[in-house]
Amino acid sequence: MKKLLTILLCSASATFGLAQQQTYFSNPVIHGDLADPSVMRIGETYYATGTSSEWAPYYPVFSSSDLVNWKPEGHVFDRKPDWTKSSFWAPEWYYHKGKVYVYYTARKESDNISCIGVAVADSPTGEFKDFGPVVEFGKEAIDAFILEDNGQLYISWKAYGLDQRPIELLACKLTDDGLRLDGEPFCLLRDDERRGMEGQHWFKMNGYYYIIYSVNGCCGPDSDYAVAVARSKKLAGPYEKYEGNPILHGGKDILSIGHGTLTTTPDGRMFYLCHAYSNGNNFYQGRQPHLQEMRMGGDNWPYFVTGEYASMVQPMPFTDCVQKPVFDFADDFTATALRPEWSWNYPYADVKAELKAGNLFLSGSPKQGVGTGNALCLRPVTADYTLETAVVNRNESWKGVVMYGDDKNMLTLGCEADRLKLKAVNDGKEMVLADMKQPASSLYLRMSVKDGVHCSFSYSEDGRKWKELEYSLSPEAVRSLVRWDRISRPGLYQQGDINKPAIYGYCRLLNE
């Protein structure tokens, strides 16, 4: 069942009469885990990307004509750059001299230190050429942002996050091509209150330089992310922090909110795309992109039009815009390439996914020291949903559906040889929860999820009559599926010989 997210509210207006209707949309505008979103406009089209963390491909790309309805377009990288290892965080778009730049955070393969790389393409959906690290600073440099001032490019970033000292937002000139630092870094803001400081957006307006930044804890069930602002008459500061900070924080339905960037409409209005956790069961969709309109007050301090408490319901950016529902996902594997909604567990396996004759062939090779297999997953976009597939082959490999946290935490229903099994992996320890002889005919598998994390499993021989499996699992094992920086994902799973793939006839994800 699809969820319609458009809300129409009637408001009386002395100017336009009682019949005037104001349209509204409901956050999130992009459903599913996509932290640290970056947004930019080229002409009348908006583009967004965000953190992919430990999932490949790297940095999903979305497009929109109205800031509310977004469609997946692909990824910045289909293969990770040679110098990188993992932790693909906080990409930042920048459009410069007809080229699209993306400044992104990743760990180096050589020393595991996070730094900031840069890649360039002719368009946001084009092929990006990587130019390697542009900021390597101490134990960690993350969260890049670009400002152009009087023709000079500057890059800012978060520093000292892993040191026993206050975090700082540092900046430095860039060369005109945007590929290298030019000069010495200087400090913009210092976290003397030790509240956290990251995810900055730096811009100039009305004679001031502004920094919109995030404070407090970013991630997990206890996060309390919020948005603050500082300003200065000079680019290098000193910056004055607003006495009314934070200007945006969690509200009734929103647990925490922050780390975003601003874009403008063609008529100059400002919109902030950031991420937020939802309260309650919707927490398990992760950090989802939210849109909030921002304006400048008469005192030259910015504010959000619906107030400092983040709200799900927001006025529609454009009068002719209608928010579309969250659609179900269906893949019959007849395309020539894997759809952009799919992601896989790259730190733990070299996953191989091939489309042949209307089937998906899934296999791969686990990385050294990894005792589990290959997960091809989807980002959950609602708290309640059902994933269904058909397994069309038999061999000794494990073939089935999975709720995947990481290589040491998952739930999977599948078959191997002539057995149908349900098993859990919790902190690397495998537990078989059900074991029976596999039905002699075709095998269909279902995983139904309620409240974002509670899974039930069933199987069928004909795709119409289903038998549910009974099992018990501790609450601790269920919670282990949620990692600190990402949300568990439903999907398809194979474990075994790379030459003995799992073959699937279709996959459907039905949202309730």
**Mean predicted confidence (pLDDT) in 470-499:** 88
Q: Is the per-residue pLDDT at 401 higher than 70?
A: yes
Domains defined along the chain, listed by start: 7-315 (2.115.10.20), 329-511 (2.60.120.200)
Task: Output the pLDDT for position 26.
Answer: 97
Selection from 267, 266, 285, 269 nearest residue 277 by Cα: 285
Q: How many helices (H) and strands (E) does the chain have?
A: 1, 39
Task: Output the pLDDT for position 12.
Answer: 30
Strand ranges in 150-287 using DSSP code E only, listed in sequence order: 152-159, 168-173, 186-190, 198-205, 208-215, 226-232, 240-241, 248-249, 254-264, 270-278
Whole-number Å distance between alpha carbons of 265 and 67:
9
**Mean predicted confidence (pLDDT) in 349-371:** 97
- Around 158, how many Cα atoms within 13 Å sit in the side-chain half-sphere? 24
Strands 71-77 and 89-96, bridge-based pairing: unpaired
Q: How confident is the model at residue 21 (pLDDT cuts 50, 70, 90)?
A: low
Strands 343-344 and 374-377, bridge-based pairing: antiparallel
Q: What is the pLDDT of residues 138-167, one digit of tens each?
A: 999 999 999 999 999 999 999 999 999 999
Higher pLDDT, 320 or 303: 303
- Which residue type, as a one-letter code, is found at position 502? A
Whole-number Å distance between alpha carbons of 431 and 24:
48
Q: What is the pLDDT of residues 243-271, one digit of tens each?
A: 999 999 999 999 999 999 999 999 999 99
- Mean pLDDT lowest among 40-49, 95-104, 195-204, 439-448: 439-448
Specify the 3-state DSSP secondary structure of 101.
strand
Whole-number Å distance between alpha carbons of 120 and 139:
26
Two tokens at 259? 């780390």
Phi and psi based region of residue 498 (left: phi greater than 0; alpha: psi -120 to 50; beta: remaining): alpha
Task: Output the pLDDT for position 4.
Answer: 37
Q: Is the per-residue pLDDT at 122 higher than 70?
A: yes
